[in-house]
Amino acid sequence: MDQPPKTRLPGMRRRRLRRRPRYKGPSFNRIMPNLLTLLGLCAGITSIRYALDARWQNAAVAVVVAGVIDGLDGRLARLLKATSRFGAEFDSLSDFCSFGVAPSLIMYIWALHGTSRFAFMPCLMFAVCMALRLARFNASLETSPKPAFAQSFFTGVPAPAGAGIVLLPLFLWLEAEEQGWVRMANAAQYPIFVAIMLVGTSILLVSTLPVWSFKNFKVPAEYVLPLLLGTGFFAALLVADPWLALAAAGLIYGLMLPFSVRSFRRLRAEAEEE
């Protein structure tokens, strides 16, 4: 039986519908934290290049930028629900380069080079202790979770804070150079002082000292306003005199460690009583 011919509306043409190919792979939101980590790694490597050119201000700024990025990438990953094992390992490798290798080389080139054949030993010790600290942190991710009272504490000084403490003599020297304080500049660049800072910070990195992480830290209501005012004052000081602000931040962090230990012991005693 013959079928009737298909009718076409006037002016219409046949169009072939082409489906767009679907690309396989993670979304851009899951890549953003890794991109930030990559930028932090580039900042850490760039600081070494500035140190080789004796551009100490740029070298210090590059390490500080790497520290700021390190504080953002993890929080962004948790916010976007993009945490992964690859991101954690990549972040640790970036931290080792930016906060372990870069600061030790900067301090060696700046103050210890050419002073003694043993001058490189504190720098090597700092880099090794930084690697051990990061390896211990990665291993702790696979162990049983910490008790509730210990969730707000690091075990040992974290990597960015360790780099900031080690660079404290450089911050003091840059501030003294700007102000024309020759004696203070010479004292900050004294090799023994720099070596002591490297060795002391290395011990803090691999120690079991409980240090505030400020992740789940609860601020009492009466301290909220002073904290906001202090943060605003520090931001203004950072703009007006960045080296003084960074040096003050390193000193304040070092003075904060005994109070962190006291807080940990108090919380542990309360948990044992309960």
Per-chain mean pLDDT for the chain: 86
Q: Are 164 and 247 spatial neighbours (Cβ–Cβ below 8 Å)?
A: no
Q: How much is the pLDDT for 169?
A: 94
Which DSSP helix (H) or strand (E) runs through 212? Answer: strand 210-212
DSSP letter for 108, please. Answer: I
Residue 168 banded pLDDT, cuts 50, 70, 90? very high
Ordered alpha helix ranges (H), 53-152: 56-79, 85-95, 102-107, 120-140
Let me know if residue 11 belongs to a domain. Answer: no
Task: Identify the bridge partners of residue 155 per DSSP, sorted by sequence position.
Answer: 210
Determine the 3-state secondary structure of 252 from DSSP: helix
3-48 pLDDT, tens digit each: 555 555 455 555 554 566 666 666 767 788 889 999 999 999 999 9
How many C-beta atoms surround the C-beta of residue 236 within 10 A?
11
Residue 144 domain-assigned (yes or no)? yes
Confidence bin at 148 (pLDDT 50/70/90): confident
What residues contact 189, with CB distance under 8 A and at least 6 apart? Answer: 110, 111, 169, 173
Q: How far apart are CA 157 and CA 60, in angstroms?
A: 20
Whether 12 is covered by a domain: the verdict is no
Indicate whether 123 belongs to any domain: yes
Asked whether residue 34 is domain-assigned, the answer is: yes
Residues ≥6 apart with Cβ < 8 Å to 108: 119, 120, 123
% pLDDT > 90, the chain: 47
Q: Residue 138: what pLDDT?
A: 85
Q: Which of 161-175, 176-190, 225-239 has the highest mean pLDDT?
A: 161-175
- Residue for token pair 């500049």: 185
Tokens 């002591």, located at residue: 196
**Residue 200 included in any domain:** yes
Residue pair 209/135 in contact (Cβ under 8 Å)? The answer is no
DSSP string over 112-134: ITTT-TTTHHHHHHHHHHHHHHH
Q: In angstroms, rounded to a whole number, what is the distance separating the alpha carbons of residues 74 and 79?
A: 9
Q: Look up the CATH number of the domain holding residue 174.
A: 1.20.120
Give the pLDDT confidence of 50-99 residue by residue, as tens digits: 999 999 999 999 999 999 999 888 888 888 887 888 888 899 999 999 99
Q: Is the pLDDT of residue 147 over 90?
A: no
Question: How many domains are contained in the chain?
Answer: 1
d(CA 213, CA 209): 12
Range of the domain at 103: 30-273
Tokens standing for 226? 């002073």
